[in-house]
Amino acid sequence: MTTKALSLPVRRASGKTSRLGEGNTGPVLVVVLAILAFWYVAAILMNWQGVADAFIRAGEQRSTSEIVLATMDQERPMLPAPHQVLVELKKTVIDTAVTSRRSLLFHAWVTLSSTLLGFALGALLGSVLAVLIVHVKTLERSLMPWIISSQTIPILAIAPIIIVVLGSIGITGLFPKAIISAYLCFFPITISMVKGLTSPDPMQRDLMRTYSASLAQTFWKLRLPASLPYLFTGLKVAIAISLVGAIVGELPTGAQAGLGARLLAGSYYGQTIQIWAALFGAAILASLLVAIVSIAERIVNRSMGARSA
Amino acid sequence: MNVSRRAIVLTPLALLGCAYALNLVHSPTVAGQAGLGFWAFIIVLWLAAAVALSGLSNLRPKNLNMRRLAGLCVPILFGAFLFFLWEVIVVGAGVPSVLMPAPSAIGGRFVASLPVLLADFLQTFVKSVLSGYVIGCLAGFLVAIIADRIPFLRRGLLPLGNFVSALPVIGIAPIMVMWFGFDWPSKAAVVVVMTFFPMLVNTVAGLAAAGRLEHDLMHSYAAGYWTTLVKLRLPVALPFIFNALKINSTLALIGAIVAEFFGTPIVGMGFRISIEVSRMSLDMVWAEIALAAIAGSIFYGLVALVERGATFWHPSYRT
């Protein structure tokens, strides 16, 4: 009968086994394995009918174990087994030359370049807006409500318009997609940056005033450093949705290049393995991008003398 | 005092000027071939509006209701002025409607094609979004309760849930279309997957939000797991759950519309957008976007209203 409020934090034994049980690695591994097992079972169940029908049509009599094996070896399965996706990933990433249109790296690069350009534009726009909003009261009261309510509308629906309109005046390729990404990702940056720039409390601002610091000095020496932790939180969200914007921006142009085009082409021709491989490619890209922002955050925090949390 | 008087004088003047300019720009002699004088007039109006708005936003009426009214007026006037600029520039400079239709043209198209819009709304919003939203949020909630009961599962699922929320989940749309067919179930499935993880992560975080003292109090009442859950932990988790509901209200609409880009029957908001864009009738696309915006805002607003009623005790609503 222990009570939670009174219980002291007990120092745990720091053996390797207990750390595994304590940390999240063990449970995550188990859950991932469970998902993989579930995936195999689902692949067998969902592909069963198609395989069985194919054998009946071919007039062959096959045993159950043969059908089970065949469900994981189809060319266009309902649900490809994980190893099929891995084989496809290896084939399109490692075995194919990067310059080839069959290479997933080629398509990932197309998507990545517009993601990064859009992210840079969005970060610039978002932080400039935030600085303006913090310093100009009229903007804070007139623009801020619109920025917030602009998020309750499904912005991605505008993507086809941007692509087609810019395409009709001769701007194609990277830039329209980057605009969609920028439009999507400026919001979290603005919001977090406004929060961060206003985070110094009145005492600190009063201190700056007693130093008779100018507006610019207050900004560079107090507000900006205080805003950085908030900014990085926003940047992490922003780069993830910047990628979503780039992928969706590739849909209306009709499958030319990029991960979104790969998804669309796969769905046109029923190439399920290709869809799953593109999906995994996008997931890997997203986690790499978020990881890079996290590393940048850690470096900046350390150089500013913050203790790593 | 000087500032507020200037604002009070200038605002009606600027409004009158805008009305006059709107009238002028639609007259056949100006539309599409507006001269230098007209643009100079617009720039003067712009300056006047800027001064008036900055005056209005600096007003500090003593009366609480008046202050609330002023706080509402500024963004509305600002938005209205943006629409005014859009209309005047598009009509005055004669921008072709395949590039950018004027708001009035979009409004006209919206009213003229109400039946089509209604059919799209029913298909996309009522069938796909609402059903997917309810199923996804409920599933996320239930899994969060189970995960909270079993700590091992929680430690395994939570990092995965956070990881998935950074992924472009929208990419599963073509797979769902393949599995569930062209009609609305496939879109609802995309919405389910998109709304599941935010709900899971937020609910788990909310269930951990109750303090130790409160837990001890429940313990001293000899309350069991279920009583503690229903009387203490779920109410404390409500702000987190509503946060997820609000995030999901936007995500669900985006998911359904984008999923329709991958294949639909001949009705639906995403379908209409992609078809009308390729036919270059942009006014219809904008009308559809306006519909999406209205539906999204009302959906979000309703969730926010329910939140206000359900979590009235929360510090952010007490004044």
Query: In chain A, how many domains are there?
Result: 2
Domain carrying residue A183:
104-303
Residue A199 located in a structural domain: yes
pLDDT greater than 50 at residue A2: no
Task: Say which residues have a Cβ less than 8 Å from residue B174's Cβ, sequence separation at least 6.
Answer: A263, A264, A266, A267, A275, B262, B263
pLDDT mean across residues, chain B: 84
Last residue of a domain, one of A35, A57, A76: A76
Q: Which of A24, A161, A276 sits opposite B282 (nearest CB)?
A: A161
Residues of A within 8 A of B153 (CB-CB) are: 27, 31
- Among B122, B132, B270, which Cα is nearest to B194's? B132
Q: Which residues contact A258 (CB under 8 A, 6 or more apart)?
A: A107, A110, A111, A114, A177, A246, A247, A250
User: Residue A169 falls within a domain, yes or no?
Assistant: yes
Residue A3 is assigned to a structural domain of this protein: no
Chosen domain end from A61, A76, A91: A76
pLDDT over threshold 70, residue A61: yes
Q: Is residue A200 part of a domain?
A: yes
Token couple for B122: 């029913």
> Are A212 and A271 members of one domain?
yes
Q: Is residue A96 part of a domain?
A: no
Q: What is the mean pLDDT of residues A241-248?
A: 87
Which of A:52-111 have CB within 8 Å of B? 78
A109 and A211 within one domain: yes
pLDDT at A15 over 50: no
Choose from A54-58, A124-128, B82-86, B101-105 the range with maximum mean pLDDT: A124-128
pLDDT digits over B101-149, tens only?
888 888 888 999 889 899 889 888 888 899 999 999 999 999 999 988 8
| Domain match, A297 and A208 both | yes
In whole angstroms, what is the distance from residue A75 CA to residue A43 CA?
Answer: 13
**Check: complex ipTM more than 0.85:** no
Helices (H), A59-103: 64-71, 82-93
- Which of A4, A27, A243 lies at the smallest CB-CB distance from B212? A4
Residues A163 and A253 in one domain: yes
Whichever domain contains A172, its CATH number is 1.10.3720.10
A187 and A50 in a common domain = no
Mean pLDDT over each residue of chain A, to the nearest integer: 81
Q: What is the pLDDT of residue B140?
A: 93
CATH entry 1.10.3720.10 includes domain B111-317: yes
Residue owning tokens 């726009």: A125
Confidence of residue B317 (pLDDT cuts 50, 70, 90): low
Test B75 with A252 for CB contact under 8 angstroms. Answer: no
As a whole-number percent, the residues of chain A with pLDDT over 70 amount to 90
The confidence band for A306, taking pLDDT boundaries of 50, 70 and 90, is: low
**Residue contact B277–A157, C-beta within 8 A:** no
CB B18 within 8 A of CB B53: no
Distance CA A157, CA B170 (A): 13
> Of A57, A76, A95, which closes a domain?
A76
Cβ–Cβ below 8 Å for B166 and A259: no
**Structure token digits, residue B76:** 């509305």
Lowest-confidence range among A5-14, A88-97, B96-105?
A5-14
A34 and A148 belong to one structural domain: no
Is residue A94 in some structural domain?
no
Which pLDDT tens digit goes with each residue over A172-197?
778 888 888 888 888 889 888 888 88
> What's at B99, amino acid-wise?
L
Residue A152 lies in a domain: yes
Q: What average pLDDT score do residues B200-210 get?
A: 88
Least confident of A255-259, B126-130, B277-281: A255-259
Residue A88 in any domain: the answer is no
CB atoms within 10 A of CB B58: 15
C-beta neighbour count of B259 within 10 angstroms = 29
d(CA A188, CA B242): 19
Nearest one of B145, B118, B162, B135 to B225, comparing CA atoms: B145
Report the alpha-carbon distance of residue A119 to residue A43 in Å, rounded.
37
Q: Confidence band (pLDDT; 50, 70, 90) for A1?
A: very low
Q: Are residues A51 and A110 in the same domain?
A: no
Note the pLDDT of residue A118.
Answer: 92
Instruction: Indicate if A52 and A196 belong to the same structural domain.
Output: no
A112, A116, B236, B317 from A240: Cα distances, Å: 11, 11, 30, 31
pLDDT, tens only, B20-54: 777 777 777 766 677 777 788 888 888 888 878 77
Task: Give me the pLDDT at residue B137, please.
Answer: 94
* Option in B171, B286, B300 nearest A152 (CB): B300
pTM of this prediction? 0.82
